[in-house]
A = this chain, B = another copy of it.
Amino acid sequence: MIVVMKIGASDAQLNQVCSKGEEMGFKPHVIYGKERNVVGLVGLGKSEMGIIEDMEGVDRVLPITKPYKLASKEVKKEYTTVDVSGVQFGGEEITVIAGPCAVESEEQIVKSAQYVKAAGAKMLRGGAFKPRTSPYSFQGLGEEGLKYLSQAREETGLPFTTEVVNPRDVDLVYKYTDMFQVGARNIQNFALLTLLGQTDKPVLLKRGMATTIDEFLMAAEYILSEGNKNVVLCERGIRTFETATRNTLDISCIPVVKERSHLPIIIDPSHAAGHWHYVPALSKAAIAVGADGLIVEVHPDPENALSDGAQSLNPDEFIKMMGQIRTVALSVGKHM
Contacts and interface: CB of A to CB of B under 8 A. Distances in A.
B67 A218 contact: no
A84 interface: no
Contacts of A136: 67, 225
A74 B6 contact: yes
A245 interface: yes
Nearest to A275: B54
Given A131-B188, A240-B240, A250-B248, A137 B47 contact: yes
A238 interface: yes
Nearest to A20: B303
Interface centre among A62, A190, A253, A330 (most CB of B within 10 A): A190
A38 B35 contact: no
A134 B189 contact: no
Contact of A133 (B36, B67, B285): B67
A65 B35 contact: yes
A277 interface: yes
Interface stretch (A114-122, A145-153, A173-181, A304-312): A304-312
Contacts of A256: 244-245, 278
A221 B134 contact: yes
Taken together, the copies of this chain in the complex come to 4
Nearest to A32: B42
Interface string A239-274: 111111100111111111001000000000000111
Nearest to A31: B40
Interface residues of A, number: 112
A332 B133 contact: no
Interface in A275-290: 275-278, 281-282, 284-290
B275 A50 contact: yes
A5 to B, nearest CB: 10
A74 B215 contact: no
A12 interface: no
A328 interface: yes
